[in-house]
């Protein structure tokens, strides 16, 4: 798809364009994505800003006739971040009667959550309905449009439940990181503080980390070590069914 086609495709994802191209999409059905990333130790999510309403929402899109719902989610993610082949999983479908734009048709939304490499994503608004797309710190995000606050809460709940069975650490920390950084992620997802000693012991014992070197001191007093996930051992651990949950 060249950039012009991409542009058109992006436009078609916006609700105003459903009227003219309605036959290309399944009516009343949408997909919304909760995209997680980590930067400076904080868990962040991707939001899009609606020009007219001056409010924020999750990135979303409509389901084309010729694609599966999973593919819709991939497409939405690709259009908003440029990323492909990332962790992306359905977590819940929202079907209340009052869903949809006020005065417009009622919509059912399939919610997906994604785990992406923050540094690889290039947030891109559709340029039609939304004029900005950017990362927000999960704690500190604005109130969202529609029922998207509930979606975020539920995505986070799913993430919490699956912390032990999905490659969450590996996906959100593809590069070097320090154990305090990783611990902050776990604490954010779990919503409670963890004991530093126990956390480090457990992570070390899992045997999925490689110590890379010392971190050149940036903001801390003593320089923490840098680690990297060993992708193979990580996969083996998941395969074995080892719980990576804290």
Q: Which residues bind its own copies (CB under 8 A)?
A: 26-29, 63, 65-72, 90, 92-93, 95-97, 106, 108, 110, 161
Nearest distance, CB of residue 17 and DNA, angstroms: 48
Q: Does 240 bind DNA (CB under 7 A)?
A: no
Which of DNA, its own copies, none lies near 96, with the C-beta cut-off 5 to 8 A by kind?
Answer: its own copies
At its nearest, how many Å lie between its own copies and the CB of residue 100?
11
CB of 89 to its own copies, least distance (A): 11
Which of 189, 146, 119, 140 has its CA nearest to residue 59?
A: 146
Q: How many of the chain's residues bind DNA (CB under 7 A)?
A: 20
Helix (H, G, I), strand (E, B) or coil at 23: helix
Inter-residue contact 70 to 144 (CB < 8 Å): no
Closest CA to 171 of 240, 85, 82: 85
The smaller minimum CB distance to its own copies, of residues 1 and 97, is found at 97
Which range in 6-14, 97-105, 119-127, 174-182 contacts DNA by CB under 7 A? Answer: 174-182
Q: Which does 206 bind (CB under 5 to 8 A by kind): DNA, its own copies, none?
A: none
220 binds DNA (CB under 7 A): yes
CA distance 110 to 28: 11
3-class DSSP state of 140: coil
Count the alpha carbons within 13 Å of 52 in the hemisphere toward its beta carbon: 3
User: Which residue in the set 51, 137, 198, 210 belongs to the binding site for DNA (CB under 7 A)?
Assistant: 198
Query: How far apart, in Å, do the first and last CA atoms of the chain sit?
Result: 43
Q: Does residue 161 touch DNA according to CB under 7 A?
A: no
Least distance between its own copies and beta carbon 170 (Å): 22
Nearest-approach distance from CB 224 to DNA, in angstroms: 3
Residue 60 near residue 30 (C-beta atoms within 8 A): yes
- b/e map 44-81, b = 16+ CB within 10 Å: bbbbbbeeeeebbbbbbbbbbeeeebeebbbbbbbbbb
We find the least distance from the C-beta atom of residue 43 to DNA, in angstroms, to be: 17
Closest to DNA by CB, 174 or 180: 180
Q: Give CA–CA dist 161/91, Å, rounded.
A: 11
Task: Tell me if 160 contacts DNA by CB under 7 A.
Answer: no
Q: Which residues form the interface with DNA (CB under 7 A)?
A: 178-180, 195-198, 200-202, 204, 217, 220-225, 243, 246
């Amino acid at each position: 798809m060249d950039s012009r086609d991409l542009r058109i495709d992006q436009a078609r994802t916006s609700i105003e364009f459903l009227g003219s191209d309605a036959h290309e999409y399944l009516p009343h059905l949408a997909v919304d994505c909760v995209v997680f990333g980590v930067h400076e130790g904080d868990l962040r999510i991707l939001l899009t800003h609606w020009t007219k309403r001056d409010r924020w929402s999750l990135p979303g899109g409509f389901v084309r006739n010729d694609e599966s719902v999973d593919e819709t989610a991939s497409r939405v993610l690709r259009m908003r971040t440029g990323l492909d082949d990332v962790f992306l999983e359905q977590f819940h479908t929202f079907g209340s009667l009052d869903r949809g734009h006020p005065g417009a048709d009622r919509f059912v939304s399939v919610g997906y959550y994604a785990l992406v490499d923050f540094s690889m994503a290039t947030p891109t608004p559709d340029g039609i309905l939304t004029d900005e797309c950017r990362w927000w710190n999960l704690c500190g995000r604005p109130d969202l449009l529609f029922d998207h606050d509930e979606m975020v809460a539920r995505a986070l709940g799913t993430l919490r439940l699956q912390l032990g069975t999905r490659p969450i650490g590996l996906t959100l920390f593809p590069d070097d990181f320090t154990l305090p950084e990783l611990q902050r992620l776990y604490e954010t997802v779990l919503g409670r503080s963890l004991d530093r000693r126990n956390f480090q012991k457990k992570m070390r014992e899992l045997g999925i980390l490689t110590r890379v070197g010392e971190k050149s001191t940036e903001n801390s007093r003593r320089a923490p070590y840098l680690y990297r996930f060993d992708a193979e051992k990580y996969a083996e651990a998941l395969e074995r069914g080892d719980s990576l949950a804290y």
